[in-house]
């Protein structure tokens, strides 16, 4: 089947998605229109500058006060989650009073402005006072704003709320770099929190070892992606400052320093865990401690299973420096002939992978030895008749950023395959060497690999590549692992009934993974669609999936059953490119129509559309999720999904697939689902502004966002403005966070918490109080510039009361968590919450597991009641 490359065709009706933030928001489509909560209020478009001033200003802000206590009227903030207010110093009180004046429309004396601005301020204040007076006159006192009604397509749209005056008159210059944290450094800070799980005595022992492996793997990817990208910028001569005022070179230097600190802490954690494991009979041996019998057995194992795989390579003038593959362990062997004083070097790659484990079992117990130690002590087989002077170990990390220009490619799949080949030979960005390596050898390696020995070479004490500890962490010791977790079958999806009939009756079902089984919900949805004779078509996006999962099997089965199947595969999913190319070929061979999305944009949304012939005609069923359609990660990632047959959402998803398979960007009338890059960011910014305006009118403003990362500068600035206006902002951000909470006058109404525990937090939830007409959304997108402006994402509304209650419960669990939650401080550091006497020490994940099991028990009781009657 011919696969076409989709190129977006712009029309006059579409604005440039990447310049939205530079313009005033135009007349919006239905999905972005914000209902005017006070009809008497005069409406004006926002004129806040959304572009960042990247001028670097040194200096730290002294935090004078902790986040202020929760207002009694906040419906979403549970009592148990309210933070105790610290006493404010004089400076903090002064800052607060000034902020209060600004919110009332008065201009603080400290604000400097031009002569023209001073002359026009009285007129502006009078105009604002007049508008406020008119608004109050038209609105009965104490009347609660009504819920927003859906607007029919083509109907006249209500005016947008006026932007808050506080944004124009703030004493804080939001263009100053000091109000923002660095993306890379805050991500490394997240890994410190992950590493803390490895030293926390409440974590089971083998789970502690797993967290050490996770941090090691994370740091490898950080060097490959982030450091690699920064070095490319340095090589290209780029000196552009980030939002926090750093150059690429400054970031590399600071990141390397932070990585060295984390590596040192990781080594100490491994030492502690290793000693504790030895007491449990799990020992990682050193070759020197083995008995002669054990050494003999290992030598035989080496000769039979390792020696045939080895390829020694000489390093001398007659042989060029050998190619060193990414993340490989290598031995640097110094040798000489018995009658010669001249030394020569040889490199031997350690053959890990493809069935060869890093750790070799010694004897019958759970004693292991690293494979490199076995090799190092049996080199006489590899170099017979030569004297081994020394043997040192090293490891390299290569840049993973080898992307090409899609618009210049005739065949996208061939281009990605070419990128993968180039990645294999990409420049090296990091060299790790074993402790005590000969300085001459260290310098030669750095020179041959074109690295800066001072900044790019990391000396490691003990074992290298601790990511391989995953092998040991999987040992079967139930008491050294977390209690077994078995996802429940969703109580509202009975196995004996057709899933489409169930969805049709309920309207919508919310799925919480891994608490609800992915197999008996999402996979079942696809499986039944593939075999249901009434299903006519299946459309789906794939970003990451398991190569041996049941997702592909269901799609192939559907095609074989004569259904129309279309799949949008993202070939550029980092580190999964080869897998996705293979899966695309498998699906094409089965007759599935495979496309690769829109040129220049990654397809990151997670959407399934099933078209079925129901008794009243064609009906569309939709699944929209926050996580990948991946069987394995669905067991360890915390994600959300919704299955619905809502006509409006289904129509929007149909439009979305038409865009993905054609690239045509003519005006599309989305009424519920908000896709990026065109609408999603505007939708968030406009709703934040609306929350500010409603709070100014009636009070009680509240925003709650849950996401993996908060990096987009425009979103951060909007949240700062909301805080300055008095809106309470609760943020649950897993890792990267540019925003600084708790700064008096700027962000003292903002709390930021991070959950690190058994499962990887991965869901995205966006909540706005909206004057009482609450809005909940789930999304595939984080508040990152790349997600909002360079990817196809979706923001999906959740409206059913029983489903919004479930979403609120998730956020409330984050607030009540005194085990896995970390509170962010204004300087970017984090403090882990600790349970007080009498409080539960349960974390978010334990609470949600218990709640899922309770829902299942309640459903079974309800099912038994009719039988008992």
Residue 379: which residues within 8 A CB-CB, separation 6 or more? Answer: 331, 333, 388, 391
Q: Which residues pair with 510 in a beta bridge?
A: 642
Q: Which residues pair with 664 in a beta bridge?
A: 9
* CA distance linking residue 467 with residue 397, whole number of Å: 13
| Long-range contacts of the stretch 803-809 (C-beta < 8 A, 24+) | 803/508, 803/509, 803/510, 803/642, 803/776, 804/774, 804/776, 806/510, 806/512, 807/510, 807/640, 807/765, 807/767, 807/776, 807/778, 808/76, 808/767, 808/776, 809/851
Cis peptide before 192 (omega within 30 of 0): no
Residue 656: which residues within 8 A CB-CB, separation 6 or more? Answer: 605, 607, 670, 673, 675, 792, 794
343 is catalytic: no
Interior CA angle at 332 toward 326 and 335, to 5°? 155
- Name the 3-class secondary structure at 530: helix
Is 48 annotated in some ligand binding site? no
Answer for the pair 545, 583: CB distance below 8 angstroms, yes or no.
Answer: yes
Q: Which residues pair with 644 in a beta bridge?
A: 508, 622
* CA distance linking residue 590 with residue 166, whole number of Å: 59
In the block, which residue shows the tokens 């009118």? 697
Is 819 annotated in some ligand binding site? no
* CA distance linking residue 330 with residue 348, whole number of Å: 6
* CA distance linking residue 133 with residue 131, whole number of Å: 5
* CA distance linking residue 390 with residue 726, whole number of Å: 66
* CA distance linking residue 338 with residue 389, whole number of Å: 11
Burial 397-428 (b: 16+ CB within 10 A, else e): bbbbbbeeebeeeeebbebbeebeeebeebeb
Torsional sign, CA 438, 441, 446, 449: negative
**Angle, helix 90-103 to helix 713-724, in steps of 10 degrees:** 90
Torsional sign, CA 357, 359, 362, 367: negative
Is 734 annotated in some ligand binding site? yes
Is 218 annotated in some ligand binding site? yes
Q: Report the run of H or E that residue 637 belongs to, with start and end.
A: strand 637-644
Residue 130: which residues within 8 A CB-CB, separation 6 or more? Answer: none
DSSP structure class, residue 487 = P
* CA distance linking residue 540 with residue 558, whole number of Å: 12
Is 762 annotated in some ligand binding site? yes
In the block, which residue shows the tokens 């006159």? 137
Nearest to 324 by CA among 353, 354, 352, 347: 347
Cβ atoms within 10 A of the Cβ of 632, count? Answer: 13
Is 740 annotated in some ligand binding site? no
DSSP structure class, residue 519 = I
Q: Report the run of H or E that residue 516 belongs to, with start and end.
A: none
Residue 592: which residues within 8 A CB-CB, separation 6 or more? Answer: 1, 555, 556, 559, 565, 566, 567
Answer for the pair 538, 526: CB distance below 8 angstroms, yes or no.
Answer: yes
Give the neighbor-by-neighbor strand order of the sheet with 359-362: 283-284, 367-370, 359-362
Query: Which entry of 367, 490, 604, 630 is annotated as an active-site residue?
Result: 604
Q: Enter the tokens of residue 847.
A: 């609470």
Q: Which residues are annotated as a binding site?
A: 218, 544, 574, 637, 734, 762
Q: Which residues are annotated as a binding site for ATP?
A: 218, 637, 734, 762
Positions annotated as catalytic residues are 604
Q: Which residues are annotated as a binding site for Mg(2+)?
A: 544, 574
């Amino acid at each position: 089947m011919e696969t076409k490359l989709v190129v977006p065709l712009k029309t006059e009706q579409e604005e440039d998605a990447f310049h939205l933030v530079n313009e005033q928001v135009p007349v919006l489509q239905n999905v972005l229109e914000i209902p005017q909560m006070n009809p008497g209020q005069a409406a004006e478009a926002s004129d806040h500058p959304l572009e960042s001033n990247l001028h670097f200003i040194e200096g730290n802000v002294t935090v004078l006060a902790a986040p202020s206590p929760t207002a009694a009227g906040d419906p979403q903030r549970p009592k148990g989650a309210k933070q105790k207010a610290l006493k404010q110093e004089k400076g903090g009180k002064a800052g607060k009073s000034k902020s209060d004046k600004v919110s009332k429309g008065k201009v603080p004396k400290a604000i400097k402005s031009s002569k023209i601005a001073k002359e026009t301020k009285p007129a502006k204040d009078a105009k604002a006072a007049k508008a406020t007076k008119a608004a109050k006159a038209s609105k009965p006192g104490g009347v609660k704003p009504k819920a927003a009604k859906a607007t029919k397509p083509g109907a006249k749209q209500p005016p947008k709320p006026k932007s808050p005056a506080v944004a124009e008159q703030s004493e804080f210059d939001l263009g100053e770099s000091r109000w923002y944290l660095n993306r890379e450094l805050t991500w490394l800070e997240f890994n410190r929190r992950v590493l803390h799980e490895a030293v926390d005595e409440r974590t089971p022992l083998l789970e502690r070892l797993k967290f050490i492996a996770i941090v090691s793997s994370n740091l490898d990817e950080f060097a490959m992606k982030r450091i690699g990208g920064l070095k490319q910028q340095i090589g290209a001569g780029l000196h552009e400052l980030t939002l926090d005022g750093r150059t690429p070179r400054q970031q590399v230097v600071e990141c390397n320093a932070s990585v060295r600190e984390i590596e040192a802490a990781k080594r100490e954690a491994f030492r502690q865990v290793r000693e504790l494991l030895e007491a449990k009979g799990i020992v990682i041996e050193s070759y020197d401690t083995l008995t002669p019998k054990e050494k003999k057995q290992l030598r035989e194992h080496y000769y039979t299973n390792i020696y045939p795989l080895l390829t020694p390579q000489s390093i001398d003038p007659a042989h060029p420096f050998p190619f060193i593959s990414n993340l490989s362990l290598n031995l640097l062997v110094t040798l000489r002939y018995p009658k010669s004083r001249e030394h020569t070097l040889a490199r031997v790659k350690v053959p890990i992978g493809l069935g060869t484990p890093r750790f070799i079992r010694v004897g019958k117990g759970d004693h292991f030895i690293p494979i490199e130690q076995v090799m190092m002590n049996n080199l006489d087989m590899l170099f017979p008749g030569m004297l081994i002077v020394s043997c040192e170990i090293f490891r390299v990390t290569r840049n993973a950023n080898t992307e090409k220009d899609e618009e210049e490619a005739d065949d996208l799949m061939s281009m990605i395959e070419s990128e993968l080949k180039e990645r294999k030979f990409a420049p090296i960005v990091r060299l790790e060497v074993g402790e005590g390596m000969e300085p001459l050898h260290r310098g030669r390696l750095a020179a041959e690999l074109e690295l800066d020995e001072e900044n790019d070479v990391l000396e490691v004490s003990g074992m290298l590549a601790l990511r391989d500890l995953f092998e040991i962490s999987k040992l079967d010791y139930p008491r050294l692992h977390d209690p077994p977790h078995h996802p429940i079958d969703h109580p509202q999806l009975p196995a004996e009934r057709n899933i489409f009939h169930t969805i049709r009756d309920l309207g919508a079902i919310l799925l919480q993974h891994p608490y609800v089984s992915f197999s008996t919900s999402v996979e079942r949805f696809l499986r039944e669609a593939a075999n249901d004779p009434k299903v006519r078509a299946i459309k789906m996006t794939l970003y990451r999936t398991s190569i041996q999962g049941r997702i592909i099997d269901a799609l192939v089965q559907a095609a074989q059953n004569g259904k129309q199947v279309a799949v949008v595969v993202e070939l550029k999913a980092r580190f999964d490119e080869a897998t996705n190319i293979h899966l695309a070929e498998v699906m094409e061979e089965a007759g599935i129509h495979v496309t690769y999305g829109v040129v220049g944009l990654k397809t990151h949304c997670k959407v399934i559309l099933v078209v079925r012939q129901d008794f009243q005609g064609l009906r569309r069923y939709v699944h929209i999720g926050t996580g990948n359609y991946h069987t394995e990660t669905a067991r360890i990632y915390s994600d959300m999904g919704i299955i619905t047959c809502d006509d409006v959402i289904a129509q929007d998803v149909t439009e979305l697939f038409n865009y993905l398979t054609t690239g045509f960007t003519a005006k599309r009338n989305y009424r519920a689902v908000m896709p990026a890059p065109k609408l999603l960011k505007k939708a968030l910014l406009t709703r934040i502004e609306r929350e500010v305006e409603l709070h100014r009118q009636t009070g009680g403003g509240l925003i709650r966002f849950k996401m993996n990362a908060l990096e987009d500068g425009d979103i951060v600035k909007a949240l700062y403005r909301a805080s300055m206006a008095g809106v309470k902002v609760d943020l649950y951000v897993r890792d990267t966070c540019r925003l600084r909470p708790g700064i008096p006058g700027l962000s003292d109404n903002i709390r930021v918490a991070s959950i690190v525990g058994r499962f990887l937090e991965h869901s995205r939830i966006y909540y706005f109080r909206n004057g009482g007409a609450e809005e909940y959304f789930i999304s595939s997108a984080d508040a990152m510039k790349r997600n909002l402006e360079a990817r196809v994402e979706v923001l999906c509304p959740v409206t059913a009361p029983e489903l919004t209650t479930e979403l609120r419960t998730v956020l409330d669990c984050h607030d009540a968590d005194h085990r896995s939650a970390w509170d962010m401080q204004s300087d970017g550091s984090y403090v882990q919450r600790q349970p007080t006497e009498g409080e539960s020490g349960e974390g978010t994940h334990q609470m949600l597991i218990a709640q899922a099991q309770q829902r299942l028990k309640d459903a079974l009781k309800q099912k038994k009641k009719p039988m008992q009657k």
